[in-house]
Amino acid sequence: MKPIHAMLSWSIAIPFIWVALGQALASLPNPGTCTGTCINTHDPFIVRRPDGVYFRFSTSGRITIHTAPAITGPWTYQGAALPRGSSIDLPGNQDLWAPDVIQIGNTYYLYYSVSTFGSQTSAIGVAQSSTLDAGSWTDLGSTGISSNASMPYNAIDPNLINIDGQYYMTFGSYWAGIHQVVMRNPPTRTATGSVPYQIATHPGTKDVEGGTIFKHKGFYYLFYSKGFCCRYDQNRPPPGGEYKVLVCRSTSPTGNFVDREGTPCTRGGGTVVLESHGFVYGPGGQGVYLDPQLGPVLYYHYLDTRIGYADSQKQFGWNTMDFSSGWPVLR
């Protein structure tokens, strides 16, 4: 039984709860500066070429490419990564999603998703380039990661991590959350005999997706998006049900991720890093980039409530992160 002094009536407690919530949200910073083309950036991915040019890849437009001299911009549209779409013979192969790019030696690999909204018939494909430029990409087709209604995951939202020459693909959306599978070297196909295993889910819900793993000072941080992602102009979820960014961490890239309270990510764990606040609505589709000047950067898409709620109005957002506590705090 709780002590008497803790048994406050809701009429007294609720105002204090809302004050605390308001203070927490007020502490979240606004996105950093973005100039040039900052709109229509669903699921952005940032990579910096050795010559200092920043490339931003994003969903739709057959993987849209923008470039800039800095993460702040000005961002300029360059074209589509795969102007002919994907060779994967599935619905959605002309409207590609959730790009992820990694450099291995002198080659860049671009991973993308083929699917349609709400469907579990999906696959992850890969293309390669030596320059990152629009018009330079060669589609290699499927990585061997696919899904249908008989599987516990959806084969979208790829993120590849290289650990001392061993490659792991993190992927998954809705259904039973985020999974991982071992890849070959070079990582154009899954490793022989490798079976996807779950690394994050929220039991009782399906809205966990978009995992990104970032290694920092001995820990592997799993950032992911939770909530309803899209079409807010047609049907907005109840407050708090929209996209937000959560994180868990582990000393291994392959599992046992827990949140700041020690709750496993496979049992609903996840510490909030970024959520709706002020004019920022539904932030997610995130990635993490180690900028040579700024340090660790969380980037994402969000909707500016002063502009609108359509998917085509999604803005590019970014913030630096402070890991001094062992957990990422936005600045």
Catalytic positions are: 43, 209
CA gap 131, 136 in Å, rounded:
7
- Radius of gyration over every alpha carbon of the chain, rounded to an integer in angstroms: 20
CA gap 186, 208 in Å, rounded:
29
Diameter of the chain measured on Cα atoms: 70
Is cis: bond before 50, omega within 30 of 0? no
Secondary structure, 3-state, 72-125: CCCEEEEEECCCCCCCCCCCCCCCCEEEEEEEECCEEEEEEEECCCCCCCEEEE
Neighbouring C-beta atoms of residue 116, cutoff 10 Å: 14
Q: How far does Cα 124 stand from its chain's mean position?
A: 15
User: Exposed, middle or buried, 321 (CB in 10 Å: 0-12/13-18/19+)?
Assistant: buried
